[in-house]
Homo-oligomer: A and B are copies of this chain.
Amino acid sequence: MDFELFERLAHDAMRSSHAIVAFVSCEVSYSGRAETFLERGDRILLVKPDRSVLIHQPSGSVPVNYMKGGSELSLERGEGRIVLHAAHKAERAWLDVSVFAVHGALSQRLEDAQRLDLAGNERDMSDWIRDNPRCIGEGFRPIAREEQTDVGFIDVFGHDGSGTLVVVECKRVTASLSAVDQLRRYVERVKRARGTQQVRGVLAAPAITPNALEMLASLGFAFCRVDPPKRLERWARDQKRLGEF
């Protein structure tokens, strides 16, 4: 595919809000939050109708360069190349993609009003703890979930029935030192705000690293093993793999 075809495709796609995908040989420069340069190679270029730009190398699931939606886009014809400029003034970011060859390109108008339905996040987990308080301790009584403080929100807040306040921090994956930091910050804030030293800290997660457990113990907090709930997990069970490549 030559430059003229690519240029016309890109122009038409931009005008009519199509998405563009292209296999190109290119080099890439970026300046914004950092400065990057990527020498010439074959990549996948993706331009969406919201004027976001993605550049993917042949390996890896993360784009090597990108611009968020809302960029100003322009094409410039150079010597033996065509340059896609993307400028995001609000973010003070610039991306230049110098395309030396176009191996193939497509554009398409896309219709999609759907939103992702997700189960098994941390909010589901704190919901579950609120509805199953016994997992935290025999007398645990939840008062609030996602209680706002000025240093962040407490996942589950309650008391143990004998007047002692309980702060629960949830993690849906193995808890690390930063989770203990977070819990400590909330407990200190509650102690100060309520004028009491009677505040227990509980870290609820499926697992915890040894260092985090040691720090937790040194602060007098408790670990409580809880797995994140996955409400839709039936569908993938016992699925059969047919037509293996």
Asked whether A14 is an interface residue with its Cβ less than 8 Å from the other chain, the reply is yes
Tell which of A39, A61, A66, A112 has the most Cβ of chain B within 10 Å.
A112
Stretch among A40-48, A132-140, A155-163, A194-202 lining the B interface: A40-48
Option from B54, B56, B244 in Cβ contact (under 8 Å) with A48 = B56
A residues 106-135 in Cβ contact with B at 8 Å:
106, 108, 110-121
**A167 shortest CB reach to chain B, Å:** 16
Asked whether A224 is an interface residue with its Cβ less than 8 Å from the other chain, the reply is no
Contact across chains for B23 and A19 when beta carbons are under 8 A apart: yes
**A149 shortest CB reach to chain B, Å:** 10
Option from B65, B75, B85, B242 in Cβ contact (under 8 Å) with A116 = B65
Asked whether A231 is an interface residue with its Cβ less than 8 Å from the other chain, the reply is yes
Residue of B at shortest CB range from A32?
B236
Give every chain B residue within 8 A of A66 (Cβ-Cβ). Answer: 61
Contact across chains for A21 and B44 when beta carbons are under 8 A apart: yes
With A and B bound together, what is the CA distance between A181 and B187 in angstroms? 14
Copy total for this chain: 2
Contact across chains for B61 and A52 when beta carbons are under 8 A apart: yes
With A and B bound together, what is the CA distance between A182 and B178 in angstroms? 8
Contact across chains for B23 and A108 when beta carbons are under 8 A apart: yes
B-facing mask of A46-85, CB < 8 A → 1, else 0? 1011101010111111011111110011111100000001
Given the known interface contacts A49-B59, A64-B116, the answer about A74 and B243 at a Cβ–Cβ threshold of 8 Å is yes
Asked whether A225 is an interface residue with its Cβ less than 8 Å from the other chain, the reply is no
Contact across chains for A58 and B245 when beta carbons are under 8 A apart: no
Contact across chains for B48 and A110 when beta carbons are under 8 A apart: no
Given the known interface contacts A152-B177, A177-B151, A245-B73, the answer about A118 and B61 at a Cβ–Cβ threshold of 8 Å is no
Asked whether A164 is an interface residue with its Cβ less than 8 Å from the other chain, the reply is no
Residue of B at shortest CB range from A7?
B243
21 contacts across the A-B interface (CB closer than 8 A): A21-B21, A21-B106, A23-B108, A33-B120, A34-B121, A34-B230, A35-B231, A36-B117, A37-B235, A41-B111, A43-B112, A46-B56, A48-B60, A52-B60, A52-B61, A54-B61, A75-B243, A96-B236, A104-B106, A104-B108, A178-B182
Q: Give me the 10 closest cross-chain CB pairs, A-B, nearest first.
A: A41-B112, A31-B236, A34-B120, A35-B232, A181-B181, A42-B110, A23-B108, A58-B110, A52-B61, A39-B114
